[in-house]
Chains A and B, each alone.
Chain A
Amino acid sequence: MSNPASGNPCVGIIANPVSARDVRRVIANASTLQLTDRVNIILRALAALRALGVRQVLMMPDKVGISSLLLRGLARERTLGNAMPDVAFLTMEITSSAEDTRCAVRLMRAAGVCSILVLGGDGTHRAVVRELYLGSTADAPRIPIAGLSTGTNNAFPEMRESTVTALAVGLHATGRIPAERALAGNKLLEIDVNGGAIRDIAIVDAAVAFDRFIGARAMWKPDNLHSLFLAFGEPTAVGLSAIGGLLQPVSPRAPGGLAIRFGDGRAGSAGAIELTVPFAPGLIRSVQIAAWTAIEAGQALPVDLPGGSMALDGERELVFAEGDAVTVTLRENAFPTVDVPGCLHFAAQHGLFRHPATSQ
C-alpha cells in the first residue's frame, strides 16, 4: 500500500502493565491478562502500524516488564527480518503509578504524536484522557486515543483485536482518512471540589461512596455506595455503569447522562426498587435504588454527602470531608477517539486496501 502520509507520522502507545491486578481477582474470579499477552497485543499492533507506513512509535516505559519483554520481542522480530516501526521509549522517571501515564501523555503531546493507542482498562483510559483534557490548553490540537481493553470490567475501551484497532489508527495517522470521518467525540464527567481546588474526570462513571479512605482502590462493595453519575451506561456492561444500563440505558454517543441515588441501606431506609446487576465480573449483586434521573451536559450537579470518597471509573480516587463542595458536570464532545469500525468501513468503501494485481 502506498503511503500518502503527511510527513512522518508518529503514534504513541501507553500500555498499563498493572491493570487487572486488583482484589477482584480474588473476590470474583476476574481475569488477568498476562504480561506476555499484553506484549503480544502490542507486537501485533506494531506490525499493523508498520504495514500502513507508520515508522515511528513512542512508548511509555515501565519497570514491571512490558518494556523488557517488548524489547525482547522486537529484537526477535528484527532477527527474523519482520518489519516493525522504530519504537522509542520515552525518557522519563518511572514511578510505577498512574503518574507514569500522565507523564507519558505530556511527553507524547510535546512530541506531536498523531494519536495514542491505550492498553488498559477504564482506569488507564481515564488517566490518559484526564491528562489530555485537564492538561491541555483550549487551542491545543486534541489528540485522539484508541483504546484496547485489558482491564477488569471495562465500559470504555473496546474488546477488539489489536491488529484491527491499529489498522484504524494507522489509516488516521497516515492521513488516509480525514479526521472528521476517522474520529468520534466522547462524553465525560468533570468533578470539581471546592470551586476548582481539585479537578478530576471520569469517562464512564463517578460513584460516591460512604468510605472515607482509599484502601485497595477497586470499588467492589455495593453496600458502600451513596450515588452514581454516568456519562453512559449500557445494558451489556459489567460494573457500575451496568446499573444505569439496566435501569435506563444511555449510549456513549447519545446526548445526556444519568444520575442514580442509592437507598441508604445503612440508615434502614430501603430503596424504591432493588436492582440485580453484574457488579463485577462474576459478581451479581442487588443494589437498592432510591431514585434516578437523566442529566444534561453543562449542569454542575452537587454531591450531597457530607464526607465520603469518590470512585472514578471504578477506583476510589478522592476522599472529601464535611464542608467540601463537590460537583459533577457532564461534558459532551469532550475528547476524540479513533472510530475503529468507522475507519475500516471508510477504508472498504474507498478501496483503501485494494491494489492493482501484481503481474506474475
Chain B
Amino acid sequence: MAANNPFPLSRDALLGCYRRMRTIREFEDRLHIDFGRGDIPGFVHLYAGEEAAAVGIMSHLGDGDRIASTHRGHGHCIAKGVDVGAMMKEIYGRKGGSCEGKGGSMHIADLSKGMMGANGILGAGAPLVCGAALAAKFRGKGEIAICFVGDGASNQGTFLESLNLAAIWNLPALFVVENNGYAESTSRDYATAVNSYVDRASGFGLPGVVVDGTDFFAVHEAAGEIIRRAREGGGPSLLECKMVRFHGHFEGDAQTYRANGELEDLRANHDCLKKLAAQLTSAGVASAAELADIDRQVLALIEQAVVDAKAAPLPSAADLLTDVYVKY
C-alpha cells in the first residue's frame, strides 16, 4: 500500500495525523458530554471541527518550536504533543494535571513541548510569540514560534502591534488566524471591517495565505511552506484557516445566533476528520477497518484519561500557596 501512497507524507505519518485529529475530536466530544453531566467545572471551549488546522500545522513542528494558543486550546495542546491524561486531569482540577490543577481548561501549558499556554485573554499570545521568535532567533537553531488567534481576537491591538513587530524584526513568527466565523455570538462579518486577514498582513508587509482549514492536506502544504520560509530566515507570515466549530462558544451556549440547520450542515459537509478519512481510504492508504481500529484505540485512551482523572487526588491546602514565585 505504501508504494501507492499519493500524499506528501508517509503512511505512518498520515495515520499519526489521523490519530491526533481523532484524539482531539474524541477528547472534546467527551468533555461535551461530561460537562453536560456537571462533572467539569469552569469555562470550557471545545476545538471539535477545527482539528485539521492544529494537526496540519503542528505536524511540521518539533518541541523546540513554540506555540501560543487561545482560550480554545485543547486541540493545539494535543497536536503539539501534550499528554492527554495530564490534560484531562487538569480540566478536572486534579493533581498531576498539566498545571497541577491550578490552570484548568483555559490555561493548559507544557513548556517542555513548546506549548506556551492556552490563554484566557484574547490577543495575548501574539506578543508572546514575538518574544518566543526573538529568543529563537538569538538561539539560531532554526526554531520558530506560532501564534494562534481567532477571527474575533484578531481585532485586538496586541495582535496588530505584533504583526508589525514581527515584520520589522523579521522574526521567525507565524500568525495563524483560525477563522470560524464567530466570536462568541457575534459574527465575523459584523465585527471585522475588512474581512480578509491576508489584507491585514499585507498592510504590515507580511505575506498571507488563505486555506480551507477543514482540509488537512491544504493546511499541511501551505503551513509547510510558511514554516520552511520562517526557519530559513524568510521571516513572518500569516495563514488564515477557514474553519468551523461544532460546539457552542463555550459549553452551555444555546447557539441561537446560528441559522437553522447550520450546525447539521457543518457536521455533515465540513467535517475535517470525515474528509481526511475519505481521502485516506479512497487513495488506498488505509482501509476503513484500520481507521476504525485507531478510533477504538483513541476511544480507549480517552476513556482511560477520564477514569484516571476522576481517580486522581485533589490538590491539598498546601498546594494553594506554592509556585507563586520561583523564590520569595
Query: Roughly how many angstroms separate A217 CA and B218 CA in the complex, as a whole number?
Result: 7
A307 and B6 contact, CB distance less than 8 A: yes
Check A26/B196 contact, CB under 8 A, given A214-B217, A307-B6.
no
Whether B229 pairs with A26 at a CB distance below 8 angstroms is: yes
How far is it, in angstroms, between the C-alpha of A307 and the C-alpha of B194 when the chains are bound? Answer: 42
Contact with A along B200-212 (1 / 0, CB 8 A): 0011000111110
Would you list which residues of chain B between 77 and 121 have a CB under 8 Å from chain A? Answer: none
Quick check: B194 and A65 within 8 Å, CB to CB?
A: yes
Which residues in A have their C-beta under 8 angstroms from that of B217? 213-216
Quick check: is A40 within 8 A (CB to CB) of the other chain? no
B225–A35 touching, CB < 8 Å? no
Residues 31 to 66 of chain A near chain B (Cβ within 8 Å): 32, 34-36, 63-65
Q: Determine whether B195 belongs to the interface, using a CB cutoff of 8 Å to chain A.
A: yes
Contacting pair B195 A68 (CB below 8 A): yes
A93-137 vs B, CB cutoff 8 Å, 1 = contact: the mask equals 000100000000000000000000000000000000000000000
Asked if B220 is at the interface of the complex by the 8 Å CB criterion, the answer is: yes
Task: Determine the distance from Cα of A58 to Cα of B81 in the docked complex, in whole angstroms.
Answer: 50
Verify if B165 is at the interface (C-beta below 8 Å from A): no
A34 and B196 contacting across the interface, CB-CB below 8 Å: yes
Interface size for B (C-beta < 8 A) is 34
Contacting residues, chain B, for A32 (C-beta < 8 A): 198-199, 202, 207-208
Contact of A211 among B6, B193, B220 (CB under 8 A): B6
- CB pair A34–B202 under 8 Å, yes or no, is yes
Which A residues are CB-close (under 8 A) to B211?
A: 23, 216
Selected contact of A96 from candidates B194, B202, B220, B242, CB within 8 Å: B242
Taking the complex as formed, is B323 at the interface, i.e. its CB lies under 8 A from any CB of chain A?
Answer: no
Q: How far is the CB of A270 from chain B (nearest CB, A)?
A: 24
**Could you tell me if B194 and A26 are in contact, using CB atoms closer than 8 angstroms?**
no
In the bound assembly, the distance between CA atoms of A19 and B127 in angstroms comes to 30
A18: Cβ under 8 A from any B Cβ: yes
Interface membership of A142, Cβ < 8 A: no
A213 to B207, CA, bound (A): 25
The answer to whether the Cβ of B8 comes within 8 Å of any Cβ in the partner chain is: yes
B264 adjacent to chain A (CB < 8 Å): no
Nearest chain B CB to A320 CB, angstrom units: 11
Chain B residues whose C-beta falls within 8 Å of the C-beta of A273 in the assembled complex: none
Interface residues of B in 215-272 (CB under 8 A from A): 215, 217-218, 220-222, 225-226, 229, 234, 237, 240, 242
Chain B residues with CB below 8 A from A261, complex form: none
* Contact call B6/A34, Cβ cutoff below 8 A: no
Task: From A23, A27, A69, A211, name the one whose CB has the most chain B CB atoms within 10 angstroms.
Answer: A23
Partner of A216, one of B196, B218, B240: B218
Q: Among the listed B193, B199, B225, which residue makes an inter-chain contact with A23, where contact means beta carbons less than 8 Å apart?
A: B225
A17 at the interface (CB under 8 A from B): yes
Verify if A29 is at the interface (C-beta below 8 Å from B): yes
The reply on B189 being an interface residue by CB < 8 A is: yes
Q: Is A212 an interface residue (CB 8 A)?
A: yes
Q: Is B300 an interface residue (CB 8 A)?
A: no
**Which of A32, A212, A215 has most B Cβ within 10 Å?**
A215
B207 engages A26 (CB within 8 Å): yes
A21 at interface (Cβ–Cβ under 8 A)? Answer: yes
CA distance A65 to B151 in the complex (A): 13
Chain B residues positioned under 8 Å from A211 (CB to CB): 6, 8
Give min CB distance, A214 to chain B, whole Å: 7
Set A29, A36, A215: member contacting B8, Cβ < 8 A: A215
Q: Of all chain B residues, which has the CB nearest A97?
A: B212
A307 to B240, CA, bound (A): 31
Q: Are A17 and B207 in contact (CB under 8 A)?
A: no
| Interface assignment of B183: CB less than 8 Å from any CB of chain A | no
> Given A26-B237, A32-B199, A65-B195 in contact, is the A213-B6 Cβ separation under 8 Å?
yes
A25 in contact with B189 (CB, 8 Å): no
Let me know if A21 and B198 touch, CB within 8 A. Answer: yes
Q: Does A234 contact B (CB under 8 A)?
A: no
Q: Which residues A246-276 have CB closer than 8 A to chain B?
A: none
The answer, yes or no, to whether B7 is at the interface (CB within 8 Å) is: yes
Q: Which residues of B contact A307 (CB under 8 A)?
A: 6
Given the known interface contacts A26-B229, A213-B217, A215-B8, the answer about A34 and B209 at a Cβ–Cβ threshold of 8 Å is no
Complex interface: chain A residues within 8 A of B203 (CB): 34
Q: Are B207 and A29 in contact (CB under 8 A)?
A: yes
Given known contacts A25-B207, A32-B202, is B220 in contact with A215 (CB within 8 Å)? Answer: yes
For the complex formed, measure the closest distance between the CB of A36 and the CB atoms of chain B, giving whole angstroms: 6
Query: Which A-chain residue is minimally distant from B218 (CB atoms)?
Result: A216
Mask for A1-28, Cβ within 8 A of B = 1, else 0?
0000000000000000110011101110
List A residues 300-349 near B (Cβ within 8 Å). 307, 319
Q: Is B279 in the interface zone, CB < 8 Å from A?
A: yes
List of A residues within 8 angstroms of B210 by Cβ: 18, 21-22
Interface residue ranges of A75-99 to B (CB < 8 Å): 96
Give Cα distance in the complex from A68 to B6, angstroms. 41
Minimal beta-carbon separation of B46 from chain A (angstroms): 23
Q: Does B288 contact A (CB under 8 A)?
A: no
- Interface pair B221/A64, CB less than 8 Å apart: no
* A69 with B8: CB separation less than 8 A: no
Contact status A64-B220, CB under 8 Å: no
B207 surroundings in chain A (CB, below 8 A): 25-26, 29, 32
- Known contacts A17-B196, A21-B198; decide if A216 and B283 are in contact (CB<8 Å): no
Q: Is A212 a contact of B221 with CB atoms below 8 Å?
A: no
Q: Which of chain B's residues 162-201 have a Cβ closer than 8 Å to chain A?
A: 181, 189, 192-196, 198-199
Where the two chains meet, the residues of A that have a C-beta atom closer than 8 Å to any C-beta of B are 17-18, 21-23, 25-27, 29, 32, 34-36, 63-65, 68-69, 96, 211-217, 307, 319
Please list 11 pairs of residues, one from A and one from B, whose beta carbons are closer than 8 Å in the complex, sorted by A's number: A18-B196, A21-B198, A26-B207, A26-B234, A26-B237, A65-B194, A68-B195, A213-B7, A213-B8, A214-B218, A215-B8
B residues with CB within 8 A of A: 6-8, 181, 189, 192-196, 198-199, 202-203, 207-211, 215, 217-218, 220-222, 225-226, 229, 234, 237, 240, 242, 279, 283
Q: Which 6 A-B pairs have the closest CB atoms?
A: A212-B6, A65-B195, A21-B210, A216-B221, A215-B221, A25-B207
Given contacts A23-B209, A213-B283, A216-B211, list 7 more A-B pairs with CB under 8 A. Answer: A21-B198, A23-B225, A26-B229, A35-B194, A68-B189, A212-B7, A307-B6
